[in-house]
Structure 1
Amino acid sequence: MTRIKSLIIGSAIVVTAGAGAAFAGSATTGPADPVIAAPVLPVVRASDWTGFYFGAGVGTGEWDRGAASGSGRNEGVFVGYDYDFGNYVLGGEAQYIGNDVVIGGQALQGVTRVKAKAGYDAGRALVYTTAGYAYADSSAGGGNGYVAGVGLDYEVMDNVTVGAEYLYNEFDDIGGQNLTGNTIEARLSYRF
């Protein structure tokens, strides 16, 4: 019986020692908890229309001089400056367009414009109104006038915009008659 007692006591010591190690944990740890990265949110670029720009445009125009009328293509260049006040943009632009229009036997050779702009900053789009001084040069003589219209510029990539502009033009006394015209133009600009 002493032998059985010794065997039971020895077994109890071994089981108790093993159980203590099991409850204490082991020297090696299991795999670490995975690290979950925070999602990356897309960066929304704040628009800023402030700065100088230059560009070129091509379009068409419908012109009337007295009872005569004519239409044709116009091409031009422009340079300007805009200042962004947050939601609103103010600016100015100088523009020259050459025309391919004959009105009642008189050729409209070109129009020079100096315009003020006021617009709304809609992010990558700028919607604006414009008005200013204009000078028309034709084979019947030159004449002073004004121009007014609306436009839209859209930023297709950093510093590059495409746009469209509609303008009403009116000039007094070119060869004894007034000249009016409606022009629409597609524009490409570089901003810096």
Structure 2
Amino acid sequence: MTKLLPLFAAALVASAGAAAAGGFVPVVAETPVTAPAPAPVVITPQAAPSGDWTGLYLGGQLSFGQLGYERDDGDAGEADLDGAVGGLHAGYLRDFGRIVAGAEVAYDWADLKVDDEDEVTFDAGADLEGIARAGLRLGYDGGRVLPYATGGYARANLSEELAGSGEDSADGYYFGGGVEYAVTDRFSLGGEVLRHEFDLDVDGLDTGLTTVGVRAAYRF
């Protein structure tokens, strides 16, 4: 028994030394790392035009025009002048809900030439150089779309005095219609057809100008 005690003590010392050298390694459970969720992307839509047409506006127009000179009896022939017509316009509209009404003034410069296919059998007298207009507009508020009718006073400026009258201008009237589209609250595009009738103060001579074109305006 006394011989076993030294051996037992040596075994205890050896095991204690091994424990001190290596130590006990605790088992640590790994915690999974979760990536943060991405922030939601918020898309803010652009504000649509309000559809309120009230206010001042300024713009320009470009049209194809045809001016016809014709005798009442039809025996003296006729002449058609075709070409570009374009200029500036300004006006004011008031939106009353469904009805939109206002006034507009405009001036067009003309570059009309006699149609090569026409056989001119009388002296038309002068070329058209410009048209001034002042009239009213009446339309329907369709939101971003405004169909309208228009009409009023028109004055033609001629390149020279008209044979038989001694005048280089002629008074008359115009009427027509169009559609305008509000691209934004400030900018609009449209199309328009107008008919002009002028009194040339020459017996038996009628004249009329038809224009078909586009227009754009900035709204204040």
Structure 2 runs not aligned, ≥5 long: 1-43, 71-77, 115-123, 163-167
Give the Å deviation of 1:69. Answer: 1.2
2:51 and 2:185 in contact (8 A); partners too:
no
Number of equivalenced pairs: 153
Tell whether 2:191 aligns with 1:164: yes
What's the counterpart of residue 135 of structure 2?
115
Give the Å deviation of 1:102. Answer: 3.5
Q: Kindly report the root-mean-square deviation, in angstroms, between the aligned alpha carbons of the 2 structures.
A: 2.0
Q: Secondary structure, in 3 states, of the residue corresponding to 2:141?
A: strand
- 2: CA distance, partners of 1:174 / 1:110: 18
What's the counterpart of residue 182 of structure 2?
155
What's the counterpart of residue 200 of structure 2?
173
Letter in 1 for 2:177: V
Given the alignment, which residue of 55, 59, 62 partners 2:59?
55
What's the counterpart of residue 96 of structure 2?
85
Say if 1:174 and 1:55 are closer, same or farther in 2 by CA, change over 3 A. Answer: farther
Q: Secondary structure, in 3 states, of the residue corresponding to 1:116?
A: strand
Letter in 2 for 1:116: L
Give the Å deviation of 1:163. Answer: 0.6
Given the alignment, which residue of 161, 172, 182 partners 2:210?
182
Give the Å deviation of 1:175. Answer: 5.7
Could you tell which deviates more after superposition, 110-119 or 165-174? Answer: 165-174
Give the Å deviation of 1:58. Answer: 0.7
- 2: CA distance, partners of 1:157 / 1:82: 16
Letter in 2 for 1:81: Y
- 2: CA distance, partners of 1:45 / 1:157: 5
Give the Å deviation of 1:47. Answer: 1.2
What's the counterpart of residue 172 of structure 2?
145
Structure 1 runs not aligned, ≥5 long: 1-39
The alignment-based identity, stated in percent, is 35
Stretches of 4+ moved more than 2 A in 1?
40-46, 102-106, 174-178
Please tell me whether Structure 1 or Structure 2 has the larger radius of gyration of its CA atoms. Answer: 2
Letter in 1 for 2:169: G
Given the alignment, which residue of 98, 105, 108 partners 2:109?
98
Q: TM-score, normalised by structure 2?
A: 0.65
